[in-house]
Homo-oligomer: A and B are copies of this chain.
Amino acid sequence: MEADIFKALADPNRRAMLERLASGELTGSALGEGFAISQPAMSQHIAVLRGAGLIRERREGRSVHYAVNPDGMAPLHDWLSRYQAFWPERLGRLKDFLKEMDQ
């Protein structure tokens, strides 16, 4: 699981795809625009991201709408939290951020 996530994120194209999806749901062809790779390459990347649980898909007619999976990054976050002890100053900044959010 965790390993699949790290592997999926190791590729810059896949990270870029995720970042585009972070702005909202997109169909496969819409997501592919701006990438200098073929449609099959995109499809394969999507398969990897889905295999890692990072995206969800919703078929609608002949197109498929992809979106970021709400808690797909959770295992990564959990893994990363093991190292929070190493950056107390960042915790402070995060605290400020959360305080702001409360208002």
Please indicate the chain B residues that have their CB under 8 angstroms from the CB of A17 in the complex. Answer: none
User: Is there an interface contact between A19 and B82, defined as CB atoms closer than 8 Å?
Assistant: yes
Rounded to whole Å, the gap between the CB of A19 and the closest CB of chain B is 7
User: Is there an interface contact between B22 and A83, defined as CB atoms closer than 8 Å?
Assistant: yes
User: Is there an interface contact between B80 and A80, defined as CB atoms closer than 8 Å?
Assistant: yes
Is there a chain B Cβ closer than 8 Å to A41's Cβ?
no
User: Is there an interface contact between A80 and B76, defined as CB atoms closer than 8 Å?
Assistant: yes
Query: Quick one: which of B19, B70, B80, B101 contacts A86, CB cutoff 8 A?
Result: B70
Please, what's the 1-or-0 string for A52-88, where 1 marks a CB less than 8 Å from any CB in chain B? Answer: 0000000000000000111101101101101100110
For the complex, give the distance between the alpha carbons of A7 and B6 in Å: 8
